[in-house]
Structure 1
Amino acid sequence: MAQVPSPTIRARRLRRELRRLRDRTGHTAEEVAKILGWHRTKVIRFELGHSRVMPKDMPPLLDLYDASEGERESLNALLRQSRQKGWWSAYGDVLPDDFVGFEAEATSISAFECLYVPGLLQTEEYVRAIVRAGRSTADQDETDRVVAARLARKALLSRDLPPSLWAVLDEAAVRRVVGGPKVMRAQLTRLTEACAMPSVEIQVLPFSAGAHAAMAGAFTLLDYADPLLDPAVVYLSNDSSTLLLEEDRQVARYKLMFDHLRAKALDPDRSADLLARIAAEVPD
């Protein structure tokens, strides 16, 4: 499977470029809105990603920003690409946020999980067990759609140039028996197999490590091929909310946190041995 451009990333590039052009003119967002006869928050909402830039909005913006011919071509191309649909749009009812769109074009994924196995490494039955536990009111159709969406994400690791995935798992995530012994043994086996993949590194953070930098919870760092064009982002999520962090100081803090976690965790070889031992210890 080849990598395809992510409309989510193109939309982010577009809003960053529009902000750059506005800064170049010296106008505030409120001034731009007033000049163009728009609601005072419209430009701010574009630049923060809270609303989409529409094709009819581009000509007056680019005229006001005195954009060059090359800038106009580039920005209009980004606009077209941002309005395309990624595979995940078919699962909009069960994938309510943009995480998969940001993940789709990442070249490096650094994930810390404290409660369960990362989504990209989950088996189908493990996913079903998590969905049943977290969505007790879901009917079979909804459960099947959630499972299908999560399994579709895994194609990311099978594409021609997969992203590097570095996962640090709290020992609790691999000790908790999810879905029963048979399901958990299969999941642990999947993890040990993933340890041999050239694009995957897995480390286990043992209980013996004590307190650590990410006691507050799980997070995922996404890096891209061109950090100037597409700066890294951090994603925080739980069952009820998600949060995307983009500010340089926020991302730097989580990068440092991940470095501390890797230093405290068992190295990849010892982690693979521990996963195999835990799998053998799962009771029938």
Structure 2
Amino acid sequence: MFGALLRHYREMAALSQEALGGKVGYSKSQVAMVERGHRPPKGGFVPKADAATGANGGLIAAAVKLKFSDLAAWFKPMAEEEARCVARYQYESSSMPGLLQTEAHAYAVHKVACPPLDDDEIDRLVAGRLARQALLTRRPPADVSFVLEMSALTRPIGGRKVHRAQLEHLLEVSELRNVHIQVMSPHRETHVGLNGPFILLEAVDRGRLAYLEVQGKNFLISEQPQLGDLFGLYGMLRSQAHGLEESRELIKQTVKEYAH
């Protein structure tokens, strides 16, 4: 358990909860909640706590295991493959991909789940979703590409303030050299992705997988010809969508619409 390990390293370093909190930007009560497993470690807590307690990577290794335990059980096989991939491509037809969501957006999404989730479950799932975003900035970098429908930019999930922050975050992520975000023109009458969203993964050994999800049902596809068809389809989607700079301008324009 991450919390018990954190307490062990903190006590070995002769640090009080208050002292550790001062080093990582948490209050005494927040550190206590992490140690009891009542609060997931967020933001830069783990690397800061690892350095402050002299854990020498022990807390970071525990957090890697924790991030998979914080995911919905049905998504864990996909997350494990995703964490190892060297390339990841996603077409999304209606919502903001989890890898691009802000914390506030992720909370807003889970709060309207049906059947409803309790607060602890929401905290756990949001923590797992945010932990996956390490893929965007890890070293060595993965090649990550998204093709988004305009509805992902215009549906104000969480309200106007949350949505504006989400769009601004999208612009920040798009500045990463290994991340490519394209938007499908809302004026295009048709395109090859109308059958629905999907995710493609490429492993270091060049093995390939596709992931499809529909109303809680999910499938990992590793066989031809479906796999090759989906990779070819994604290439066509990229050619049909706006280019990278056009897409950034479209996102900027949408941000302005949520200025007030």
Same fold (TM over 0.5): yes
| Equivalent residue number for residue 106 of structure 2 | 127
2:144 corresponds to which residue? 165
1:1-284 equivalence runs, <5 A: 86-91=65-70, 94-97=72-75, 98-227=77-206, 231-282=207-258, 284=260
CA distance in 2, matches of 1:95, 1:197: 30
Q: Which ranges in structure 1 are unaligned for 5 or more consecutive residues?
A: 1-84
Matched with 2:52 is none
Decide whether the 8 Å contact of 1:111 with 1:166 is kept in 2.
yes
Task: Name the amino acid aligned to 1:167.
Answer: F
| Letter aligned with residue 151 of structure 2 | A
The residue type equivalent to 1:190 in the other structure is H
Query: Cα RMSD between the aligned structures?
Result: 1.6
CA distance in structure 1 between the partners assigned to 2:171 and 2:103 by the alignment: 16
- Residue 122 and residue 201 in structure 1: after superposition, are their counterparts in 2 closer, same or farther (change >3 A)? same
Does the CA-based 8 Å contact 1:233-1:246 persist in structure 2? yes
Q: Deviations over 1:202-245 (max 9, x none)?
A: 00001112211111211000011222xxx200000134111111
1:213–1:261 CA contact under 8 A, matched in 2: yes
The answer on whether the counterparts of 1:108 and 1:223 sit within 8 Å (CA) in structure 2 is yes
What fraction of aligned residue pairs are identical, expressed as a percent?
A: 32
Query: Which of structures 1 and 2 has the bigger CA Rg?
Result: 1
Displaced runs of 4 or more, over 6 A: none
What are structure 2's unaligned runs of at least 5 residues? Answer: 1-63
* Residues 112 and 218, structure 1, Cα contact 8 Å, conserved in 2: yes
Q: What's the TM-score once normalised by structure 1's chain length?
A: 0.66
